[in-house]
Amino acid sequence: MFRYNNSFKTPKKKSPLLISIAVSFAVAFVGCSSKDEKSSRETESNKEQFVENQEPNVTNSNNQIVDNSENDASEDVSFIDSRDGQSYKYAKIGFQLWMTENLKTKKGQWNCYDGNPGNCEKYGMLYDWNTANNVCPEGWHLPKSQEWDELFTYVGGRDKAGIALKSKEGWMNGAGSNSADFSVLPAGAMNDKKLFVNRGYSAFFWSSTESKREMVEIVGFNHENQFVSVGQSVKYFKFSVRCVKDRDVVENKKMKEVDNNDVTENKNESGDETKTYEMSFVKIGSQKYKTVKIGNQIWMAENLNLKSKDSKCYKGLSVNCKKYGQFYNWKDAQTVCPEGWHLPSQWEWESLIDFAGGLDEAGNVLKSKHGWNNSGNGTDLFGFTALPAGNYDIDSDYQYIGYRALFWSSTDVDADKAIMLQLNHDRNSVAYKTTRKWNYFSIRCVMDD
């Protein structure tokens, strides 16, 4: 099965072949969505990102980087897959490095469209999921659904990403601008009846993210639409593969200096050094805030404690503001960060979470070492020191101190709702939640670029 919605349309004048395509895909492709509502629901899996301040052209045993340029995505750079000598172009898009060609490795279960080797040369191979999940070269991997989401967000959101990512040529009346140099070609697919379908009209890509009932999340581009659809498929369909570069995690090395004011060593349970980070300070009014560089971002390492018209201390006690910072509604949160700093967007939170190990693990390394109830303390590996400040809910009063840390993002969903980040005492994971803008949460400011 392959879950489908009407965002993948076949041409109005359908040939018998295209009619069979529509029938076979309608049976199989359920629950796709054409808008960005996915960004507002909590996701469960980790996602990786390439960190901008690391070298994109690292040579390893399986990949030889041909062009050492560190310029933007428009530069023509490539690497060689030593397994078969195949050369692939790649591009830096946001904080990720993506192949800008479909994979062509002859490994596992694969087919050329219509059995024609010329189609493999032009469009790449079509792989089943079990092959796709293991076929990328060393140092690269099949992207998780969240990594696809990060790409779409960077180029303007899923409702517009099709234009930026589709190639300028090869599509039936629906080419893109290829402004991101991602060069999606309409490679089509092979369905459960071993029929080749939709070349010239659609492109489908695997993710590594499994969903319920043995299904896998996929993404799709269509000749008629500027948006990208997300759906689910069984593992024996055959789709294209794009690989994304592994994030290079730097262990046991001192991070780059910020202001070189303070160096903090973090110890694991055995007392060994696990990470060194640079702690700096910024003075805002009469207050002094700790700041820390994590990845390529500089964050305040304390919750904001600046009084605004509607800000609140937990239970109205100033001692709680001093310890945990103030709570703000979303409207106030947009403007309360001092000059040179701003309320982070969901995308900026995601960059932090990615660097801290992904959604499943980031909570443990971002939470403070003290103050969480029921043995819920974290390791504070990066000096972010998330405290369980709780929040103020206009319907439920003050709540969750000792149990939750809740932070606003600048990303709204609609006129009444916005995205917030939640850490809990009883889990290592981090969750994104959609909540009403008139609730009150903590604020962490991030430095302007």
Q: pLDDT at position 25, please?
A: 42
User: Tell me: the pLDDT tens digits for 281-315?
Assistant: 888 888 899 999 998 899 999 999 999 989 999 99
Structure-block tokens of residue 147? 């990594």
Q: pLDDT at position 211, please?
A: 80
Q: pLDDT at position 271, please?
A: 44
Q: pLDDT at position 194, please?
A: 92
Q: pLDDT at position 126, please?
A: 98
Residues 6+ apart with CB under 8 A from 95: 49, 50, 51, 52, 150, 296, 351, 354
Q: pLDDT at position 28, please?
A: 41
User: Tell me: the pLDDT tens digits for 348-404?
Assistant: 999 999 888 888 899 999 999 999 999 999 999 999 999 999 999 988 899 999 999
Q: Which residues on adjacent β-strands are paired with residue 430?
A: 423
Answer with the residue of higher pLDDT: 46 or 191.
191
Where does 170-286 show beta strands of DSSP type E? 189-190, 196-197, 202-210, 216-222, 229-233, 244-245, 262-267, 273-284
Spans of all domains in the chain = 16-245, 262-447
Residues 6+ apart with CB under 8 A from 163: 176, 177, 179, 226
Q: pLDDT at position 54, please?
A: 30
Structure-block tokens of residue 1? 């099965």
Q: pLDDT at position 149, please?
A: 87
How large is the average pLDDT for residues 214-219?
A: 91
User: Tell me: the pLDDT tens digits for 8-31?
Assistant: 333 333 333 332 333 334 334 434
Q: pLDDT at position 17, please?
A: 30
